[in-house]
Amino acid sequence: MIRLLQRFALLTIALLAPLGAQAADNIKIGFVNSSVLLEQAPQAEQAKQKLEQEFSAREEELRGLRQEVQEMENRLNRDGVTMNEGDRGNLERELNRKLRDLQRQQSNFRDDLNLRKNEELGKLQRLVLDAIREVAREKGYDLVLSEGVVYSADRVELTQDVLDRLEQMGR
C-alpha cells in the first residue's frame, strides 16, 4: 500500500512538473512518517495487549512443558547411569515424545501468533491510512507522501496531527 502511494506521488509530481512553478505553488503537499504512526498509535498498544492476553495461556502451557522436559533431561543425566536399561529406555522414549510434542506446540504457537500479528497489523494499517486521509482532507492537502522522502520541512509534517487523530479514534 505504501509503495503504491509512493508511485502515485512520483507520478503526480512528474505530471505537475510541466505546469510550472505558479501551478505548483497552489499544490499543498504533506508528509507522514508511517513507521512512527504504526509504532506510536494508541491502537498499536491495544493490539499488543490483545495479543498478549490471547496467547498468554498457551505461552504458559509451553513454559510448563519446557520445564517438564528440562526436569526429565536432568533426571536422565543424573540417574541414567544407575537406572536399569528398561527404566532408562522408558525415560528416554518419554523424553523424546515430550520433546517432539514441545517442538510441535512451539511451531504451532509461532505460526498462530504470526498470523494474528499480521491480522492486527493489517487492521492498524487501514486505520492509519483512514486517519491520514481525514487529516489531509481537513487541512486541505492535495498530496501526502510517506516513506522514501529524503527531506520534509516541518510545515508539511503531518505525523503528529495523524497521531492526534488516532488517539481521538482510540477513545
- Domains recognised in the chain with CATH numbers: 2-169 (3.30.910.20)
Asked if 28 and 142 touch (Cβ cutoff 8 Å), the reply is yes
What is residue 27's predicted lDDT score, i.e. its pLDDT? 84
Model confidence at 149, in pLDDT bands (50, 70, 90)? confident
Residue 171 confidence (pLDDT) above 70: no
Residue 22: pLDDT over 90: no
Cβ-contact 58, 50 below 8 angstroms = no
Instruction: State the maximum Cα–Cα separation within the chain, in Å, rounded to a whole number.
Output: 93
Residue 134 pLDDT > 80: yes
Instruction: Write out pLDDT tens, residues 44-59.
Output: 999 999 999 999 999 9
**Cell 532408562, residue located:** 88
For residues 29 and 24, what is the distance between their CA atoms, to the nearest angstrom?
10
Higher per-residue confidence, 1 vs 66: 66
> And the C-alpha cell for 121?
497489523
Least confident range of 3-17, 27-41, 92-106, 114-128:
3-17
Q: 166: Cβ–Cβ under 8 A, 6 or more apart, which residues?
A: 37, 41, 42, 43, 127, 128, 131
Nearest Cα to Cα of residue 78 among 64, 88, 90: 88
**For the chain, what is the mean pLDDT?**
85
Instruction: Name the more confident of 171 and 142.
Output: 142
Q: What is the reported pLDDT for 41?
A: 92
Mean pLDDT of all residues in 98-105:
96
pLDDT, residue 155, reads 75
Dihedral sign, Cα of residue 87, residue 90, residue 94, residue 100? positive
At 171, the amino acid letter reads R
**In this structure, are residues 38 and 126 in contact, taking their beta carbons and an 8 Å threshold?**
no
Cα–Cα nearest to 154, from 31, 21, 24, 12: 31
Model confidence at 98: pLDDT above 80: yes
> Which residues 6+ apart lie within 8 Å of 68 measured at CB?
98
Q: Could you tell me the pTM of the whole model?
A: 0.69
